[in-house]
Structure 1
């Protein structure tokens, strides 16, 4: 393996110890280096500092260092070559003293049909690099200081404009906070609500477990509320002690339903009557294939609805960029309840603003909608041919579908058998808190290539037995 010529061990701590009678400095230095090598702090092929540089750091003569190096070369710990750095040539024996019991190694993943990721192969690397390069060159000096906890004004303005034109939001820039994603935004909202005296929050059941965990982490009591074909059961919500509810109105995860117009109106009315709030998770609503995406609920009553979004499902979760739109009257409380909240790096924020302002984000979404629509159609078609006993459900939107299985099918056993064969799946019941089990699989198609779909479905058919 090639190793960088600049990989010198400058930062390695050498415990030379205090002077001792009869023990010379080069002896103590050789002992310290030998210990660093044996413990793995200086790994194989790591370059030790040049003798002159190390002597200067230790405040000793160069002879002391060359003498220590020479001894370790003779002992086989170091290797010296003319014209090259002196490098570590000894490797610690990490093998166990006795024969260890064999461990089960999970099968490698050949196909990934688990939900949660967009098409990472399609990440717009060149244009994102162009955006980063542009803002790195144009950022003024004060942009490089401590970031505004609410996010950079440029990105907050860009997000507000984007949400107004594309999602039907009523979002002034002053109401927008930049966060690392939906989970981060939800924690901030829940802390704010707790500070306002709200101790109970409702979540959809089934639903994304991290949202339940985020609410609980913020100190709220979590109440699961069932979901049916029209979305969240608002009538059941009224039977809980909750004064806030987290809802995926445009595309619920994992059922894939869209909150019906009647339920939307009922939910807004509930928030007003309960003096409560709706927390809208708008996680992948840009991807709707049978019609235009449904607008956000936040535009129906911006005084009662928090809006959460991110680029995790549209670009990549690795960017760690999201947003939170709060009711204007709550922005002060939001800041006060999260005094140590940290915004994402400023240059990344400015890069996203540039990416959106130049029209690259819209172009990426248009291409993504075409790609995901074709991929969803392909998956549904192959499932129909290979797994005819299954029934596909879920709106033609987002990055996943539901596959309902016959009554006699054990979904957990199917998921395990598929994993053994190298196929990653998700069981719908893994997202459920209460209610009756539902024999269904959640199949994500965001991060699998079109050419892999037939092979993945063939493994699924074998796992079903």
Structure 2
């Protein structure tokens, strides 16, 4: 039987045909246009229907299978997975894709509940409940309660050299809400484009697009965002991950920071600094200060508890330049009535009593061990690969030799019960870039890292 699929591609687009096809099918699955169990055309049939090379369709199907959107069974064709969870279509900056059952999940953004300081959190939350007055259960200030804003301004200055005052700190429901507020505020300022790093968060790119802002990819090299290319775009706002670029792990050089700050001054622009995993630095070189330290008048600094504690708390913050804060406060007041007060009070207590610092020292040691174990496993089982960027955060980025079939390697790892993403999944349709693997170790047991990478190594040897 000839199965059909109502999907279109644009040959005049700068986005590759493979990426267009992947995004189109993902969107149809997430929007429940394609329901779980729906059979799709064969790669040969779909290629014929769309007038594409079969290799384009095969690559798109293989990556969607690796991400858990599709299933393929010999003799039964390709289907939408039946395990797609409810809410998989909701926008997420971490973008934890639905996954097939595997032994080792190396995706980034998977919460590690074993590291959550349950006892310390319970202690702080109980103290809050015992002492809270009416002001603690009434509608909070939309920018956050004073206790937490005070703690955050002091903490950020102490550990990240962020220069801000409590009055200019805004508490948000994670970075997602902070980014949405910034995009809304920029549009009030007549800014309708936002430069983003390439490679970077594909789901973040879609999130920005949904706010009405056009994301403009700018390449990243071994020193970070290429500011010369940024200047050519004509945009006035940029989103960067300078301490530990996602996904490459590159740390922005001091020279590039100076260029970025100079660019912002010349175009009267804004820099959003997403310090998504800044608490976890394992490199021998000293952790660089925040870019915001160089110009608090033009840099918005963003952080969250998603990796420090767990994503489910939905707690984040922005250190906002004074001249931008009133506008963002007005925009926020028209959209919601602030964040959960009791959670804010508990986190403020956790910070004030030194429990957060103690927790971070403990988990930083654990993640350092995982980072070192991952580097050792790559050296042993993927000796042709080269680790990129700084030793930091909860993932590593392994560059593979040119010519490596990245999609086939990802599929080969999946057959060995290892779920891992290839670097191409973090590009937006420009040059394919060097083959790579994003190796998340935040939720892996220490003992499983070598075994997982060994399985990837077997898949790699099979391809050679």
Alignment TM-score > 0.5, same fold: yes
Alignment of structure 1 residues 336-351 onto 2, 5 Å: 336-338=330-332, 339-351=334-346
Q: Does 1:462 pair with 2:458?
A: yes
Q: Does 1:145 pair with 2:138?
A: yes
CA-to-partner distance for each residue in 1:418-448, whole Å, 9 max, x for gaps?
2233211011111111223321001011110
1:194 corresponding residue in structure 2: 187
For 2:254 and 2:431, the matched residues in 1 are separated by 25
1:234 corresponding residue in structure 2: 227
Relative distance call for 1:240 and 1:430 in structure 2 (3 A) is: same
Q: Does 1:443 pair with 2:439?
A: yes
1:212 corresponding residue in structure 2: 205
Q: How many residues in Structure 1 have an aligned counterpart in Structure 2?
A: 366
CA-to-partner distance for each residue in 1:203-236, whole Å, 9 max, x for gaps?
0000112332332222112110000000000000
- Given that 2:168 and 2:322 are in contact with CA atoms closer than 8 Å, whether structure 1 keeps it comes out as yes
1:312 corresponding residue in structure 2: 306
- Given that 1:285 and 1:294 are in contact with CA atoms closer than 8 Å, whether structure 2 keeps it comes out as no
What's the offset of the Cα at 1:262?
0.8
1:113 corresponding residue in structure 2: 106
For 2:370 and 2:343, the matched residues in 1 are separated by 30
- Given that 1:107 and 1:422 are in contact with CA atoms closer than 8 Å, whether structure 2 keeps it comes out as no
- More divergent stretch after superposition (337-346 vs 129-138): 337-346
For 2:319 and 2:287, the matched residues in 1 are separated by 19
Alignment of structure 1 residues 175-324 onto 2, 5 Å: 175-289=168-282, 290-324=284-318
Query: Secondary structure of 1:363's match?
Result: helix
Query: Secondary structure of 2:431's match?
Result: coil
CA-to-partner distance for each residue in 1:335-378, whole Å, 9 max, x for gaps?
22231135331111111111111111111211222111111111
Alignment of structure 1 residues 55-204 onto 2, 5 Å: 107-117=100-110, 119-204=112-197
For 2:336 and 2:245, the matched residues in 1 are separated by 28
Query: Secondary structure of 2:156's match?
Result: helix
1:355 corresponding residue in structure 2: 350
- More divergent stretch after superposition (371-380 vs 266-275): 371-380
For 2:215 and 2:78, the matched residues in 1 are separated by 42
CA-to-partner distance for each residue in 1:155-174, whole Å, 9 max, x for gaps?
11111111111110111011
- Given that 2:161 and 2:290 are in contact with CA atoms closer than 8 Å, whether structure 1 keeps it comes out as yes
Alignment of structure 1 residues 345-384 onto 2, 5 Å: 345-384=340-379
TM normalised by structure 1 equals 0.76
Question: Which protein shows a greater Rg?
Answer: 1
TM normalised by structure 2 equals 0.76
Moved over 3 A (4+): 100-107
For 1:239 and 1:197, the matched residues in 2 are separated by 19
For 2:102 and 2:122, the matched residues in 1 are separated by 30
What's the offset of the Cα at 1:452?
1.0
- Given that 1:187 and 1:217 are in contact with CA atoms closer than 8 Å, whether structure 2 keeps it comes out as no
Query: Secondary structure of 1:235's match?
Result: helix
Relative distance call for 1:326 and 1:210 in structure 2 (3 A) is: farther
Query: Secondary structure of 2:219's match?
Result: strand
Selected match of 1:452 from 442, 448, 453: 448
Which consecutive unaligned segments of at least 5 residues does structure 2 have?
Answer: 1-75, 83-98
For 1:144 and 1:136, the matched residues in 2 are separated by 10
Which consecutive unaligned segments of at least 5 residues does structure 1 have?
Answer: 1-99
CA-to-partner distance for each residue in 1:155-202, whole Å, 9 max, x for gaps?
111111111111101110111111011121111111111101111110
